A and B are shown apart, each in its own frame.
Chain A
Amino acid sequence: MMNFLTYLINGISLGSIYAIIALGYTMVYGIAKMLNFAHGDVIMIGGYLIYIFASSLGLNPVLSIVIAMAGCTCLGIVTEKIAYKPLRNATSNLAVLITAIGVSYFLQNFALLVFGANPKAFTSVVSWEGISLAGDELKIQGVTIVTIVVSLIILLVLQLFINKTRSGQAMLAVSEDKGAATLMGIDVNKTISLTFAIGSGLAAIAGALLCSAYPTITPYTGAMPGIKAFVAAVLGGIGSIPGAMIGGLLLGVVEILSKRYISTQLADAIVFGILIIILLVKPTGLLGKNIQEKV
């Protein structure tokens, strides 16, 4: 029973990381209508930045995360400007998908060149040991608790930002209808830049938490969590912020429990299986809007 609780909490923690990444995914998708395959690699870049500053230079972890967030934010804005913006009105939306894949290849190979293929040991950004409950029966690691708390704070702040600020409202407007938003005087380019900035900043936080929970980093660290976070975003209903949160948590819990109780090799298959089942029952995800084509 206590074991189960531990696994469940670990699952929620992993799910929280997926959720943070999925939030970035879902916001970018909602606004730019593009599958950003490079999003996972921004996590990896964030992880390496923290590795440089915290693990190698011994800087304060919080300060390192702030620097990494700034770095990833810039990276997000720059890639959007150079690689995605010119293709915004392309005749096929496959064009920007392929460019995103190109950016993903670029970031991975850049990291490979700079840091090499060998995994680097990552010092956890959370030094707190954690707590023991039920007479040492139930141990919860510090990083686990921090991850869950941080993701809840992010969700709350993001909800407030979108619903209460002008920039947030502009984001909603642009995701509904770019043309109409322009007519209402919203600067679409700025709004999209802002979305990429937020998504990438979140990716840096996700990178810090991911690499602290699984303390190594390689150029491919971000790829699979990126894909799974995307699965989480789709599962929750792409474009929906609470949906990304629910999707992420569900995925994390299912993954950890499958690993413990069913099979390590089959855990990913089970995660993807759940996505398929949910989309077949609800084709636009748990909280997604269903839009019918008008004839």
Chain B
Amino acid sequence: MLKKLSKTSRRDYITYGIVIAFYLIVQLFKVTGLLSSHMEGLLVPLTYYSLAAVSLNLTVGILGELSLGHAGFMCIGAFSASLFSVYTKGLLPGGLRFFIALLIGTILAAIFGFLIGIPVLRLKGDYLAIVTLAFGEIIKNILAAVYFGYDEAGLHISFKSFQLQGEGKMLINGAMGIQGTPTDSNFTIAVILLLLALVIIQHLIGSRDGRAIMSIRDNRIAAESVGINITKYKMLAFTISAAIAGSAGVLFSHNTSTLTATSTYFGYNVSIMILVYVVLGGIGNIRGSIIATTILYALPELLRGLNTYRMLIYSIVLIAIMLFNWAPKAIEWRKKNLSSIKGRFAK
């Protein structure tokens, strides 16, 4: 069967529309008081995980390389932006401060993405995956071990705890991390950032650069044969992806006042959790990443009544969905049994 591709631009607008509609519905719930404070607290995390998922989908789905280290880029964005915000608290007005912090976090994550990309993108497949995981863990471990502060004698950085002399401040306090980041991010800012990231990624996909990136994914040798600069476009995609993950990290760190580089927030299991969102939403399907993140992030929360069983149920649902979606036999079965209502369910 021949499959027709939908028009790209219409697809883009539908994605923006879904995000905006979701935002408006949430606002409506908020105004009418239907939104519990617990649910409200989930909104910003939901958005930064969506951001992280679309960023990872750029690497996994569009560039076609498996990264397990995106939590590391989030970690860089979170720490660098928080450092700035803590340092300038009281010196700059909130809005401007967050804007600059966002720029710093995003750009620094991009720089790290670029630097890490140089060696990593030479590797292939699972080797690339494990090295990105390694980089992510290194970033997390270093930021969990470092002490950074300033006093009258100047700036101090060390892996050992130290005393400040006179007037000064501890900015990163080892495993205690950064305390007192102003909670500058909110749902509105988060959604704007998500829309911005969507514009960047979808515009990229619809351009000659995007086509070049996807051609490398589909067939590297053929891409070279038509003169596509493989290294350049791999680096471009990976750097943008890292930058967006960094911006997700900035949102994260400005949502709570305490920031620590622990495994719960920045370990490889976070990268893996985001990868689960990406794969379930559809590899290369940007809109799918957001929808999958929203559902999967909300799912364990909705199952909260079942308490101890919820993560067990979640894992079973995850395995079942994967088997249903990907097993060749299941695909065959779906084709046969759902042919009458084809186009609605069978993808």
Contact = CB atoms under 8 A, between A and B. Distances in A.
Touch between chains A and B, by CB atoms below 8 Å: yes
Contacts of A257: none
B319 A106 contact: yes
B141 A266 contact: yes
Interface residues of B, number: 49
Contact of A90 (B119, B141, B268, B328): B328
A112 B311 contact: yes
Interface string B315-340: 11011001101111110000000000
Contact of A227 (B124, B133, B319): B133
A234 interface: yes
Interface in A79-138: 83, 86-87, 89-92, 94-95, 97-99, 101-103, 105-106, 109-110, 112-113
A278 to B, nearest CB: 10
Interface string A210-254: 000000000000010001001100100010000000000000000
Nearest to B126: A35
Looking at chain B's contact residues, the main secondary structure is: helix
Given A105-B315, A275-B134, A276-B119, A94 B159 contact: no
Contacts of B130: 230-231, 234, 275, 279
Nearest to B279: A98
A66 interface: no
B159 A92 contact: no
Given A266-B145, A284-B127, A295-B221, A94 B319 contact: no
A106 B144 CA distance: 29
A90 B123 contact: no
Contact of A279 (B127, B312, B315, B326): B127
B131 A276 contact: yes
A265 B145 contact: yes
A238 B130 CA distance: 12
Query: What 7 A-B pairs have minimum CB-CB distances, sorted nearest first?
Result: A265-B145, A105-B315, A95-B326, A272-B134, A106-B315, A86-B327, A269-B141
Interface of A: 29, 35, 37, 83, 86-87, 89-92, 94-95, 97-99, 101-103, 105-106, 109-110, 112-113, 223, 227, 230-231, 234, 238, 263, 265-266, 268-269, 272-273, 275-276, 279-280, 283-284, 293, 295
